[in-house]
Amino acid sequence: MARKRSSIDLGAVQGDEGMSVNGRDEAIYRNLFAAIVENHLEPGTKLPEDTLAEAFAVSRTSIRKVLQRLAYERLVDIRLNRGATVAQPTVKEARDVFAARRIVECGVVAQVVAKATPARLDELRAIVRREHEAEARGDRREAIYLSGEFHVALSRLSENEAISEILAGLVSRSSLVIATFGSPMAGSCRHSEHDDVLDLIAAGDVEATRAWMERHLREVERSVVLVEEAPSAPDLRRILDEVAERHRRSH
């Protein structure tokens, strides 16, 4: 029975700061954003405007705006007259994103340590606790999400909004990279070491914190990117072409 599915419930929107943002578009954005970075939508998945419009019970107009924004954030890919797909980062892009994170996160350490207070550090410890809980019950998605949240929350201690927004963008792209290249147990598998850095910050040791961050990010990258490219739909075509080419030569 091909019953018409009912629309997705968007619920109430919290972060409607002032009056500057449209609540409904923001809710749609968050839904799609979460679906992508939490890997509910596989990289390469087509995102037709009509389908989304019906799913969220709005017209294509709103959907288009949201897709444009996600494209700007490099989470979806929009090609002229071809519509939007969930972005498929290349290996180079993955490396660039992690290198960028090293620059940004190590660079902000000094300000983070300078402005950290016991109260703010406790908020971070709460995130780490939730991380451990998620890992304990094998909730990998939540663990990856919280791992990202930790890094962004850490950067927010610097009270530099420009930087923490930039980092938030890099972190969400990292999630997409993990979804694209990550081996099943990558990303947050080895018990999160996030506890350690909080002690270094509390001790006010800038250089040790920076060193920890550098090492930590290199390990995360190593556990993810080295798996190289998984052959999904569009690549399949290229591989078939390569096979055909090899066959032709062997004659």
Summarize as ranges the residues that interact with its own copies (CB under 8 A). Answer: 18-22, 65, 68-69, 72, 77-81, 93, 96-97, 99-100, 102-104, 106-108, 111, 160-163, 166, 170, 173
CA distances from 57 to 31, 51, 79, 83 (A): 13, 10, 24, 19
* Residue 209 CB, nearest approach to its own copies (Å): 15
Stretch touching DNA by CB under 7 A, among 60-68, 140-148, 170-178, 227-235 = 60-68
# chain residues binding DNA, by CB under 7 A: 21
Instruction: Return the DSSP state at 251.
Output: -
Minimal distance in Å, beta carbon 29 to its own copies? 12
The H-or-E segment that residue 55 falls in is helix 49-56
Taking CB under 7 A as the criterion, the residue among 26, 35, 54, 60 binding DNA is 60
For the segment 63-122, give every residue that binds DNA (CB under 7 A): 64, 78, 80-84
Give the one entry of its own copies, DNA, none that residue 6 binds, where binding means its C-beta sits below a cut-off of 5 to 8 angstroms depending on kind.
none
Considering only the stretches 44-52, 141-149, 152-160, 165-173, report the one whose residues sit in contact with DNA under the rule CB under 7 A. Answer: 44-52
The helix/strand count (H/E) of the chain reads as 11, 3
User: With CB cut-offs between 5 and 8 Å by kind, which of its own copies, DNA, none does residue 84 bind?
Assistant: DNA
Q: Helix axis angle, 194-202 relative to 140-156, nearest 10°?
A: 20
Nearer to DNA, 50 or 159 (CB): 50
Q: What are the tokens at 215?
A: 């090492």
25 is an interface residue for DNA by CB under 7 A: yes
CA gap 249, 251 in Å, rounded: 5
Give the CA angle between residues 179, 35, 95 to the nearest 5°.
30
Nearest residue (CB) to its own copies, 58 versus 189: 58
CB of 49 to DNA, least distance (A): 4
How many residues are present in the chain? 251
Instruction: Report how far apart, in Å, the C-alpha atoms of 197 and of each of 34, 80, 150, 221 are.
Output: 27, 45, 11, 18
- Closer CB to DNA, residue 81 or residue 162? 81
* The dihedral formed by the CA atoms of 194, 196, 199 and 201, expressed in degrees to the nearest 10: -60
Rounded Cα gap, residues 102 and 107, in angstroms: 8
CB of 250 vs DNA, minimal distance in Å: 17
- For residues 45 and 160, which CB has a smaller minimum distance to DNA in the complex? 45
Interface ranges with DNA (CB under 7 A) = 19, 22, 24-25, 46-50, 58-62, 64, 78, 80-84
